[in-house]
Structure 1
Amino acid sequence: MTATVSIGEFARLTHLSVKTLRHYHDIDLLEPVSIDAGSGYRRYGVDQVPRAHLIRRLRALDMPLPQIKAVLTAPNEAARDASLRAHLERMEAELARTRAVVASLRSLLTPAAPLAVEYRAIPAFPALAVTGRVAMAEIDQWCPDAFYRLHTALAAADITAPAPDGCTYAMEFFEDEIGAVVAFVPLPAGARLEPPAGTALIELPARRFVIAVHAGDFDSFDLTYGALGSYVAEHGGALAEPVRENYLVGPGDHDDPSQYRTEVCWPIGRL
């Protein structure tokens, strides 16, 4: 027969407070083995200690209580382990994001090198494009999907892009955190292509730009935008038109984010 202990003793065995244990009972996460009908005192079995320890560790990993309950009530080990792996992967992704933000914050404490800018006139050119109204929080998923569709279409037509992929971002994308985004792949002059569903043939207009190259991943992208936009404001007004980004080296070209190279092109005039 399994020994039972009072809720206070169980709190000492598990390092879960009495208040916490009562809450876990209320939500059917960790129920006592018996409750005295007269006093209402709860008693726990010592065989519940491992379950309590598991709950405590999952909470330390910020797993929500409903997910912990799903883990504990999983029909088999495979289902339980799948839930645990999924949460650990989310935690690892969050840890990577935190590290990136810390690195970006440290860069703010280091005096920035003078921004290297280039003035460039870019003639109009044809492109195959995917256009969408995209939320800023979803852009990291939207762009790879869009470029996959574009490059699949070019490969099927045996067409090689003459210049790097790019995107344009409308002002509202930054003002409202959602707005028009155009992902494009330049086409050779005279290329013949029937655009697949969801894509379109467009012409990027001729413009004059001030251009700076952002090196590395996109966690500190706002710093390049801030420096370049400030430079343009100080040296001549920008057009209220979409900013272009040209992905010289991007996720499709290199697995190491530190090797990414992106041209940020600020429009300043028409040709």
Structure 2
Amino acid sequence: MRQEAPCPTRQAMDELDVAFPQAERTGPPGGRYATELFTDGVGALTVFRPVRSPRDHGRIEVVDLPAADLAVTVHAGPHDDIDVSYGRLGDWVVSHALGIDGPVHETYLAGPRDNGDARRWRTEIGWPVFRLTPG
């Protein structure tokens, strides 16, 4: 019988869920993924959950995530084909010459922790872009 290796993102989310129960959460969880994860298969990732009273706990560190300008799309459904949504967003960013270096952002608006029906999952994907207008 073949056993899959533990998913580091899932393990990190489990740790965040234990450290910060539902009443302490202020928004959906997310992740920031270095480009190298996609191009080289190895790179940095940060998994996070907004909470009322951040505190270090075990491997969990309090971080302030910097603001970022992003081109955004929402992937609907299971993650089996999320690469298609990434590809479409990436094509749009490249065709508009707006891409900059920086991590790709994901926000898990609804996922396996919220609903067992994968058709109802929603993952927001944010690609770092160059701001064209003053903010």
Which of residues 65, 68, 84 in structure 2 aligns to 1:207? 68
In 1, Cα distance between equivalents of 2:90 and 2:130:
15
Query: Number of paired residues?
Result: 132
What value does the CA root-mean-square deviation take over the aligned residues?
Answer: 2.2
When normalised by structure 1's length, the TM-score is 0.45
1:149-160 equivalence runs, <5 A? 149-155=15-21, 159-160=23-24
Counterpart residue number, 2:129: 268
Counterpart residue number, 2:104: 243
SS state at 2:27 partner: coil
Distance 1:162 1:269, change over 3 A: farther
Matched-pair contact (CA < 8 Å) for 1:207–1:269:
no
CA-to-partner distance for each residue in 1:6-48, whole Å, 9 max, x for gaps? xxxxxxxxxxxxxxxxxxxxxxxxxxxxxxxxxxxxxxxxxxx
Matched-pair contact (CA < 8 Å) for 1:170–1:179:
yes
In 2, Cα distance between equivalents of 1:159 and 1:258:
26
CA-to-partner distance for each residue in 1:38-79, whole Å, 9 max, x for gaps? xxxxxxxxxxxxxxxxxxxxxxxxxxxxxxxxxxxxxxxxxx
Which stretches in structure 1 are left out of the alignment for 5+ residues? 1-86, 94-136
Indicate the structure (1 or 2) with the bigger Cα radius of gyration.
Answer: 1
Which aligned runs of 4 or more in structure 1 are off by greater than 4 angstroms? none
When normalised by structure 2's length, the TM-score is 0.87
**Identical residues among aligned pairs (%):** 34
Which stretches in structure 2 are left out of the alignment for 5+ residues? none
Counterpart residue number, 2:7: 141
Matched-pair contact (CA < 8 Å) for 2:98–2:130:
no
1:70-109 equivalence runs, <5 A? 87=1
Higher helix fraction: Structure 1 or Structure 2?
1
Q: What amino acid sits opposite 1:196 in the alignment?
A: H
1:46-195 equivalence runs, <5 A? 87=1, 141-155=7-21, 159-188=23-52, 191=53, 193-195=54-56
In 1, Cα distance between equivalents of 2:80 and 2:125:
15
SS state at 1:212 partner: strand
Residue 239 of structure 1: CA displacement?
Answer: 1.6
Residue 269 of structure 1: CA displacement?
Answer: 3.6
